[in-house]
Amino acid sequence: MSKTVGIGITGSIAAYKIADLVSKLKKDGVDVIVIMTEAATRFISPLTFKTLTGREVLTDLWQESPEWKVQHIGIAEQLDALVIAPATANFIAKMAHGIADDLLSTIVLANTSPILVVPAMNNNMYKNFIVQDNIKKLIRYGYKFMDPTSGLLACGTSGQGRLPEVDDIHAQITKLLFPQKDLLGKRLMVNAGTTCEDIDPVRFIANRATGKMGYRIAEEAVSRGADVILVSGNSTIEPPSGVKFETAWSADEMCQVMLKYQPACDIIIGAAAVGDFQITGVAGQKLKKVANRSDKLVLEFVGTPDILQELGKRKAKNQIIVGFAAETENIIENAKLKLEKKNLDFIVANDVTMEGAGFATDTNIVTIITRNGEVQSLPKMSKEDVAAALLDKVVDLLKI
Ligand code: C5P
């Protein structure tokens, strides 16, 4: 059945890139309704989109339409998905506060189909607490967001604020319009972020992991129909909507939480950067400064539980367990050893020294190694795409 998508364009220079997106969607046979804010029409002419879609472009709340009786309601009812791209800080703020003062914002409120928001703006505007709060609020309401990419911006500065590649936006829209539900009925648990080990009541040691990889896996698994438990160490990312969210501070705590849920899970994925050491005898009071800079403060460490290994020991028949291996050398060999030791079905290995791989990046370069020795090297891809590739592999294993 043919699908209808609303493309809402707001006032950013990136608006011109949407012509390419609309053209790709039309080639897929998707019916595209373009709605532009007044500001968007200053960047690109509605005529461009009228020509590409073969439909009147909608810009005016008061425009009379022969097709829809009450225009904004009529349009909203037709949509299988609504995409706001590029989304300006102003338009995101309007959505977050339920303001409906033009055709597009009115359609957003009347819409009941999935919404994908693709921000593009100056990097400082994007980082602004108000904008970030608005985004977090909308994610809590179930809106999907794509992260802007980093690079040179139209305003001359460099940073995170660029519209993601049109191909990536196209792939996300395709997922919304034609959702794969190949994990329906499966319970999946994934851990994410860094664990933290206390030194004293105010200090702790952790690592650079942001949690992004694990959160993306959780989000992708929800969209494929799985019942998802996200066990998160320290992370500032807003949990995706639809997951059961559990937090854990230390490796010990995370291990307890995961062991509790393990028997009910079909699939377990260890994407957290679990700390390997914990301090013996955490100080009860805040440690005092050393008297002189050359004085030594000695801390003593012991190991933490290897969570995946513990889960691997208790692995039920038909339960799938997947791990990650961040390596700096002999990637495949080291990853294979971990796969065996932790009793995993497959391991996702990456060389964290490569640019575009590992912690705190939006992309990753991974190799999937299975128990039967199959080695699949993937090109540099977004963490969303890595999550999708990894879950494709899980689905393959479920069929065996
Ligand atoms: O042994 P290594 O830390 O390289 O293994 C990485 C994999 O093992 C990751 O999937 C990570 O989540 C998991 N891990 C764990 N508990 C630890 C250390 C790592 O579950 N203590």
Asked if 286 contacts 200 with a C-beta cutoff of 8 angstroms, the reply is: yes
Distance 281 CA to ligand 1 centre (A): 23
Residue closest via CA to ligand 1's atom 2 equals: 325
Distance 398 CA to ligand 1 centre (A): 23
Instruction: Give the class (CATH, top level) of 4-177.
Output: alpha beta
Shortest CA distance to 310 belongs to which of 346, 264, 343?
343
Q: 269-322 pLDDT, tens per residue?
A: 999 999 999 999 999 999 999 999 999 999 999 999 999 999 999 999 999 999
Catalytic (active site) residue 196 = no
Identify the pLDDT of residue 66.
Answer: 67
Average pLDDT over residues 375-400: 92
Instruction: Give the class (CATH, top level) of 187-399.
Output: alpha beta
Q: 211-235 pLDDT, tens per residue?
A: 999 999 999 999 999 999 999 999 9
Distance 183 CA to ligand 1 centre (A): 25
Domain ranges of the chain: 4-177, 187-399
Q: 51-73 pLDDT, tens per residue?
A: 999 999 999 888 776 666 667 78
Looking up tokens 């961040």 gives 326
Residue closest via CA to ligand 1's atom 5 equals: 325
> Which pTM value belongs to this model?
0.81
Identify the pLDDT of residue 67.
Answer: 67
For ligand 1, mutation pick of 324, 327, 339, 348 (most atoms within 8 Å of CB): 324
- At residue 62, what are phi and psi to the nearest 5 degrees? -100, 0
Ligand 1, residues at Cβ distance < 6 Å: 251, 270, 272, 274, 276, 304, 306-308, 323-325, 338
Select which of 155, 196, 255, 265 is catalytic.
155
For ligand 1, mutation pick of 196, 301, 307 (most atoms within 8 Å of CB): 307
Residue closest via CA to ligand 1's atom 21 equals: 306
325 pLDDT above the threshold of 80: yes
